[in-house]
Amino acid sequence: AADEPAALGLALYGIAESGSLVVHSGPDAPILLSFLPLHHIVVLRESTLLPWLEDYAARLEAASVPRNAILITGPSGTTDIEGSYVRGAHGPGFLHIIITGTDDIPE
């Protein structure tokens, strides 16, 4: 919910080139978890860290395409018309990434 201080999610992939996380929506992964809380805590398996964006695109070609795919590259922020920076305007204001070994968390 929008008033929750934090949400925990699992990234399907990480992209080293841009420092991005890839999150697909689905029955067990509601898309709103990536947008509503103040703190978004994301777990990333070390084995799913890809060097380049093209590596993620190649994996998409080999699998079924999700309804929604989100590439998260940092906390939300914007500058309003007066030039003031607003953190968390369009999503979480803070992004926390936990990188874990392959066998540390269940599928």
Domains of the chain: 6-102 (3.40.50.10420)
In whole angstroms, what is the distance from residue 76 CA to residue 90 CA? 6
DSSP-derived letter for residue 53 is H
3-class DSSP assignment, residue 90: coil
pLDDT digits (tens, 9 = 90+) for 33-46: 788 888 999 999 99
Please check the confidence at residue 103 and state whether its pLDDT lies above 80. Answer: no
User: Residue 88: which region, alpha, beta or left (left: phi > 0; alpha: psi -120 to 50)?
Assistant: left
Please check the confidence at residue 65 and state whether its pLDDT lies above 60. Answer: yes
What is the predicted pLDDT for the residue at 77?
84
Please check the confidence at residue 102 and state whether its pLDDT lies above 70. Answer: no
Please check the confidence at residue 106 and state whether its pLDDT lies above 70. Answer: no
What is the predicted pLDDT for the residue at 3?
66
What is the predicted pLDDT for the residue at 39?
92
> What is the distance in angstroms between the CA of the first residue and the CA of the last residue of the chain?
24
